[in-house]
Amino acid sequence: MGRASSMRRWPAVAGAVAVLAAAGLVVTVVTSPDAPRPGGTAAPTTAEPCQGTRVDPGDDPQRALDAAPDGATLCFAAGLYRLAAPLRPADRQRLLAAPGTVLSGAVRLDGWRPDGRQWRADGALPAEPTLHGECLEGRLCQPPETVFVDDQPLERVGSREEIGPGRFWADYQADELWIGDDPAGRRIEMARAPGAVAGTAERVVVSGFVIEKFANPAQRGAVHAEGAGWRIEGNEVRANHGTGVHATGGQVLANHLHHNGQLGLLGTGDGQLVEGNEIDHNNTAGFSALWEAGGTKFALTDGLVVRGNNVHHNSGPGLWTDINNIRSTIEGNVVHANTSHGIFHEISYRAVIRDNQVTDNGRDEPLPGWGGAGIRVAASPDVAIHGNTLAGNQNAIVLVQQRRDDWPSPHGAHLIRNVDVYDNDVRLSSGELTGQVDDTGSAASYGRNIRFRDNRYHLSAADAEVFAWREGVWDPATWRQRFGQDTASAFTTG
């Protein structure tokens, strides 16, 4: 089963410079030279004067939003803003933050009383816990109120007897929190607000914030854009309980989405662009990927483009298009060390998966059926997979036919059909596989125009049995001569 990564100090995704001038707040976003480069996509470097309503720490930012007209710009000065509820902008409002602007959903916890080797405080919990989602075996992934000691999250346990250093127990009936760390001289906080920015307004811009420690439940974003056309750009979204960002269409650009409890990004809607982000170490709460967890998940999209992102070390799939996505393009991403599939296109439709670097994924596969893969396509027709580099994954490129009548679709049956796999560079170590498998007990899917061609394979031995097809695993000669696959491809050993 997948295991959520532990969180340590959070590295900033980008350095930045702020210049305060008499004319207003000037925000410049500059990528730090020693920050990871998300897929080679450059962050914005042009200074943009923030001409609009200035918001300072200590102000009521929602009052400022309400007082401003549609299309207004709100310039957030650096500092900490503790929110009790999500900010709800109006249509076309632009929320621009100076570097060092933090939206926090946490409350400070004081009044701790010792009780043996434990400490307790009361009065901070909601009346009823929110329970949503399915957890990995042995993990308590909910409710969403997480406790932090000096910015480090504590592990939730289910009883007072399990409390120890680094752990907390929430007794909702008694409205008491218990911890096993001496709070003296420490900053103790609990995630309490259900979100940072949300709403059905359209064409909103959210840019430049650190957004952290929100108690948003699973499948809700700390930034939750239900309206169309939002641009969510240049933010660091971290340590929130559910999803870092939920976007309905729009643009998600150059953000760092990391150490969130369930997912870094959840996307729906038409025409969405996800570009230049770093998405890593998500699913810290320990949700089951059989339910929904990992780096990203996209559902019910049309025309999705996922380009130039760095997606790594997530507990679950890295890039996951699941449930009736159509006309998707996944290109130029670096996808590395995710516990499940690196790129997973599931019960969806026409897609191009090209020019990605996909390495070391699927080694702790939480999903059933043929292990993890660098690229896995499940019950989805009309897919082109080309120009990708794959190495060190549990398996390489795997196509899977399944019975999937659970999600009816207007786009047709969920079938492996018209899949073209070409011009990929694939390294297969001993025990790794590539090819097609069928979980339905029928051989019909192998005759639906499935082509592997013009690829470059690096094998451990010339006769390595690494090609899956028709309920067997075959060596290169059988793969080519008997099944007619990769007849003009290159095979090397060593």
Provide the terminal-to-terminal Cα distance of the chain, rounded to the nearest Å.
32
pLDDT digits (tens, 9 = 90+) for 219-255: 999 999 999 999 999 999 999 999 999 999 999 999 9
Residue 145: pLDDT over 70 = yes
Q: State the Cα–Cα distance between residues 150 and 211, nearest whole angstrom.
A: 16
Provide the CA 114 distance to its chain's centre, in angstroms: 39
Dist CA 145 CA 84 (whole Å): 13
Please check whether residue 352 is in contact with residue 375, taking contact to mean a CB–CB distance below 8 angstroms.
no
Are residues 272 and 208 part of one domain?
Answer: yes
Q: Are residues 364 and 412 in the same domain?
A: yes
365: which 2 tokens?
A: 């596969």
- Of the three residues 191, 221, 250, the one that is the final residue of a domain is 191
437 and 478 co-located in one domain: yes
How far apart CA 191 and CA 408 sit, in angstroms, is 38
- Mean pLDDT across 150-156: 97
pLDDT computed for residue 405 by the predictor: 75
pLDDT digits (tens, 9 = 90+) for 74-87: 999 999 999 999 99
Distance set, CA 109 to CA 76, 131, 142, 178 (Å): 26, 23, 20, 11
Contact 282/260 with Cβ under 8 angstroms? yes
Residues 272 and 418 both lie in one domain: yes
Cβ contacts of 393 within 8 Å, gap of 6 or more: 342, 358, 359, 360, 361, 362, 363, 372, 373, 374, 432
**Domain enclosing residue 201, as ranges:** 197-493
Would residue 55 count as lying in a domain? no
Burial of residue 303 (CB within 10 Å: 0-12, 13-18, 19+) is middle
The Cα–Cα gap between 333 and 339 comes to 17
Strands 305-307 and 236-238, by their bridges, are unpaired
Is the residue at 5 inside a domain?
A: no
Give 368's pLDDT tier (boundaries 50, 70, 90): low
* 280 within domain boundaries: yes
pLDDT in tens, 442-481: 888 899 999 999 999 999 999 999 999 998 999 999 999 9
* Cis amide bond preceding 143, omega within 30: yes
Average the pLDDT over 114-126 and give the result.
Answer: 94
Q: pLDDT grade, residue 408 (50/70/90)?
A: confident
**How much is the average pLDDT of 164-182?**
96
Query: How many C-beta atoms surround the C-beta of residue 110 within 10 A?
Result: 9
Residues 124 and 227 occupy one common structural domain: no
- Rounded CA separation 334/331 (Å): 9
Q: In angstroms, rounded to a whole number, what is the distance separating the alpha carbons of residues 418 and 434?
A: 17
- Distance (Å) of CA 136 to CA 20, 109, 366: 48, 29, 9
Across 136-157, average pLDDT: 96
Q: Which residues pair with 21 in a beta bridge?
A: 24
Residue 252: strand pairing partners: 232, 274
15/293 Cα distance (integer angstroms): 29
CA–CA separation, 393 and 343 (whole Å): 11
Structural domain count of the chain:
2
User: In the prediction, which pLDDT does 12 show?
Assistant: 33
In a domain, 2, yes or no: no
Under DSSP, is residue 448 helix (H, G, I), strand (E, B) or coil?
A: coil
pLDDT-based confidence at residue 409 (cuts at 50, 70, 90) = confident
215/190 Cα distance (integer angstroms): 9
- β-bridge partners, 297: 266
In whole angstroms, what separates CA 280 from the centre of its chain? 7
For the chain, counts of helices (H) and of strands (E): 2, 50
Q: Whole-angstrom Cα distance, residue 157 to residue 171?
A: 11
Return the residue matching tokens 């670097």: 357
Which helix (H) or strand (E) element contains residue 170? Answer: strand 167-171
Residue 48 placed within a domain: no
Q: Are residue 417 and residue 457 in the same domain, yes or no?
A: yes
338 is a domain residue:
yes
* The residue to which tokens 């996944």 are assigned: 330
Distances (CA, A) of 50 to 18, 20, 54, 102, 244: 11, 10, 9, 17, 25
pLDDT digits 0-9 by tens, 26-76: 222 222 222 333 333 333 434 567 999 999 999 999 999 999 999 999 999
How buried is residue 476: exposed, middle or buried, by Cβ count under 10 Å (0-12/13-18/19+)? buried
pLDDT at 371: 82
Is the same domain home to 264 and 366? Answer: yes
Two structure tokens written together for 230: 């939002």
| Domain CATH number, residue 266 | 2.160.20
Query: Among 139, 171, 191, where does a domain finish?
Result: 191
- Mean pLDDT computed over 298-325: 98
Residue 9: inside a domain, yes or no? no
- Do 433 and 385 fall within a single domain? yes
The DSSP letter of residue 476 is: H
Is 405 found in the same domain as 357?
A: yes
On whether residue 45 sits in a domain, the answer given is no
SS3 97: strand
* Residue 19 and residue 26 in contact, taking contact as beta carbons nearer than 8 Å: yes
Length of the chain: 494
- Using the 3D structure, point to which of 174, 191, 208 is the last residue of a domain: 191
235 lies in the same domain as 320: yes
Residue 155: CATH number of its domain: 2.60.40.1180
The mean pLDDT of 135-159, rounded to a whole number, is 96
Pair (256, 368) in one structural domain = yes
For residue 65, give the 3-state DSSP assignment.
helix
Buried b (16+ CB within 10 A) or exposed e, 395-417: bbbbbbbbebeeeeeeeeebbbb
Give the pLDDT confidence of 99-112 residue by residue, as tens digits: 999 999 999 999 99
Sole residue written with tokens 């207003």: 24
Q: Are residues 313 and 343 in the same domain?
A: yes
